[in-house]
A and B are shown apart, each in its own frame.
Chain A
Amino acid sequence: MNIVHADPRGVDSGAHFMDGDHAIAEGALAAGCRFFAGYPITPSTETAERFAERAPEVGAMFIQMEDEIASIAALIGAAWGGQKAMTVTSGPGFSLMMENIGLAAMTETPIVLANVQRGGPSTGLPTLTAQQDMFQARFGSHGDYNIIALCPDSPQECFDLTVEAFNLAEAYRTPVFIMTDETVGHMHEKVVIPPADQIKVVERNLFTGPKEDFRPYRFDCQGGHPMTRAGDGYRFHVTGLTHDERGYPLMTPAQNQVVVTHLIEKINGNAEHIIRLEEDQVEGAEVVVISYGITSRIAVRAVAEARKKEIKVGSLRLITVWPFCEQRIRELAGQVRAIVVAEINYGQMVREVERCAAGRCQVVSVNHCGGAVHDPEVITKAIEEACR
């Protein structure tokens, strides 16, 4: 992996007071993103506006496209043209992008997409928070494929995880999603952008060997096979059809098995390197609260209240949501009485927890639909009931 320091041109070092949406734009510029194609949609538009404003001074390009389909398609073009590229959207725009997400996954194109989640379905609650797109992020496009999704809980983490999203996209040649939400997106907090020489950036792995040896793909269940850029002189053929290592269509059941297995296992097989969790007093806990994104901020209070009542409660925050931390949940399920999953949807990630717990501990879903964060007391009550 080619790890370098960030290009100082894109790094606005120092302490800022900014919202999560703006921090995503800054994170992208710091990570070396120089192409942004976007389309206005509440509550994500501020990221596009910030990028548009900063683009001339950084030497980046911002294009406002005619819709979300064009936006994400432009990223795929830009990536094969040699740029790190991102877009940002919310619910309805995310739905429109699904076919192209499949294309990016299939063609192993590194792109980054931030979904500032709002209440759904359909137009739903354009200005209010939700975490209802968690499964859509993983399974929204047709066919079997895999992606990586991160979930920031603060503007600072919007910056940090955007940098990481670009690094993961390059390392595994995959679409990476930043699954934030309206509350984090519009929340203003202190954001510290480190000096450029303290930001690690993964550069694209570009092929440099003889022209006849270049293969755009290698189905070895690992990521990061070298790419090329249009114009570098290497012949490449990129297609959404099931293809061989040269990129040419090879539409057989056997090849579909090879390609799909590679797409899924290059991420699942590296899950231990990819997954980041934040755990607090999990060892020896009777109950563990699992949350992610804005809900973690609420869970902190709920857990503190439960501890005042002398309940042994730990908390686990999913920073990486996909791939899911299956191994860790299996371990925990054998150690705790109950796992409480708090999320702003009708119960999505709790399904993954239930699957991994496999009946070995109680799994309690504390969920409500979009529009507002939890009342901490509701989570505290669930913790108490789980202990009885």
Chain B
Amino acid sequence: MTATVIKFYQTGTHTVGNRLLDPSQRSVQADMRRTNSLNSGHRACQGCGEALGARYAIDAAMQACDNQLIAANATGCLEVFSTPYPETSWQIPWIHSLFGNTAAVATGIAAALRVKGRSEVRVVAQGGDGGTTDIGFGCLSGMFERNDDVLYICYDNEAYMNTGVQRSSATPGAARTATTPAVGPAPGNVFGQGKSLPLIAMAHEIPYVATAIVSELRDLEAKVRRAMEIRGARYIHVFVPCPLGWGTRSDQTIAIARLAKETGIFPVIEAEHGELTAVSKIRKQRPVEDYLKPQRRFAHLFSPAVNTAAIAQIQALADRNIRRFGLVDAAAAAGAE
């Protein structure tokens, strides 16, 4: 009998969690005991960044607190696509608050647990960018100021997608939405002053603030884990591309998220007590056009004529992020030149 040598190829990526890694390094999604807190079978669109981000974030939070987690959830896509029977996907105690009050409802849950002496049960509040940066902003700021023991996660897809893509205060300048049509001399959303919720959260000097993107899910998990080690108000802002609202291909969600980071459009950072503690460096800097072009919400910037002024304005915002947060290593930048 002759023996045949079979080559062994190690497959798998860091994204999905390689089971050959040391258990401590594996993704929660690679753990057979993961809770599937946001279970399969829900109604999210193909390529939904929010569904992906929420699954990783909540499973990581569950693991970090020995599955003792209660969630409050604002009105929005996440609530709508994950709840109607029989597509109900939540495997944890879960309350739909209203649109603007999630942070306050979570505050109430946390306070009740404290009174009952149930410190092992943790509270997470979730909302989209509309429920967080617009209508829920007051309640969220109150939660931060009181330093209530809640982890608030914002899944930012940069508009009101659930009602049919209307602008929010997280919608970037020039983006086309149903209420900021690509008409007139300044088509798309106006370039406002911006509203960076992570920076606003940092200004409250709460114990922990982080941003994350769905192309770096291990990083998201690590940030959720870190947040769960801390008591008090914590805020994680997850950048979640929306194929429907942004006009991107549903297989490009990860690529678009990565480009948001690599262009400097979305800085991936971590802060404690108002001080920046870590930034995720840009590995290979790209011009903002690479990020804008695949998205139909920016199509009017490229056709019929290229709107160089608007693109330059977006590039300037990315450059400012890079400067402000030190997103590009001085050595790497020098080496590239």
Contact = CB atoms under 8 A, between A and B. Distances in A.
Contact of A122 (B98, B160, B166, B167): B98
B183 A40 contact: no
B96 A66 contact: no
Interface string A74-101: 0000000000000000001000100000
Interface in B139-173: 160, 163-164, 166-167, 169
Contacts of A45: 163-164, 166, 178
B52 interface: no
Interface string A6-41: 000000000000000000000000000000001111
Given A40-B166, A66-B169, A92 B137 contact: no
B90 interface: no
B285 interface: no
Contact of A40 (B100, B179, B181): B179
Interface string B126-147: 0000100011010000000000
Interface in B66-106: 75, 96, 98-100
A48 B164 CA distance: 12
A288 to B, nearest CB: 40
B169 A48 contact: no
A42 B98 CA distance: 14
Given A52-B179, A92-B99, A64 B166 contact: yes
A39 B98 CA distance: 15
A45 B98 CA distance: 18
Chain A interface main SS type: mixed
Interface residues of A, number: 20
A40 B163 contact: yes
B160 to A, nearest CB: 5
B181 A42 contact: no
Interface string B235-250: 0000000000000000
A64 B163 contact: no
A42 B164 CA distance: 9
Which of B178, B180, B184 is packed against the most chain A CB atoms within 10 Å? B178
A39 B178 CA distance: 12
Interface in A98-123: 122-123
B134 A67 contact: yes
Given A64-B166, A122-B98, A52 B180 contact: yes
A159 interface: no
A52 B190 CA distance: 13
Nearest to B75: A123
A39 B135 contact: yes
Contacts of B135: 39, 66-68
Given A45-B164, A49-B178, A67 B100 contact: yes
A92 B98 contact: yes
Interface in B174-211: 178-181, 183-184
B322 to A, nearest CB: 29
B96 A123 contact: yes
A56 interface: yes
A53 B163 contact: no
A49 B99 contact: no
A48 B137 CA distance: 22
Most buried by B among A41, A45, A64, A92: A64
Contacts of A234: none
Contact of A123 (B98, B100, B163, B184): B98
Given A66-B134, A67-B100, A92-B99, A53 B164 contact: no
A145 interface: no
B109 to A, nearest CB: 18
Contact of B163 (A41, A66, A92, A96): A41
Nearest to A49: B178
Given A40-B163, A123-B75, A64 B137 contact: no
Contacts of A67: 99-100, 134-135
Nearest to A43: B163
Nearest to B187: A56
Contacts of B166: 40, 45, 48-49, 64
Contacts of A122: 98
A139 B98 CA distance: 23
Contacts of A322: none
Contacts of B75: 123
A62 interface: yes
Contacts of B181: 52-53
Scoring A38, A39, A41 by chain B CB atoms within 10 A of each residue's CB, the highest score goes to A39
Given A45-B164, A56-B184, A64 B98 contact: no
Given A56-B184, A64-B167, A49 B179 contact: yes
A96 B164 CA distance: 21
Nearest to B136: A67
16 contacts: A40-B163, A40-B164, A42-B163, A45-B163, A45-B164, A48-B166, A49-B166, A52-B178, A52-B180, A56-B183, A56-B184, A66-B134, A66-B137, A92-B98, A122-B98, A123-B98
User: 6 tightest A-B contacts by CB?
Assistant: A67-B135, A40-B163, A66-B134, A40-B166, A52-B179, A56-B184
Interface of B: 75, 96, 98-100, 130, 134-135, 137, 160, 163-164, 166-167, 169, 178-181, 183-184
Given A40-B163, A62-B179, A66-B134, 7 more contacts: A39-B134, A39-B135, A40-B179, A45-B164, A49-B166, A49-B178, A123-B96
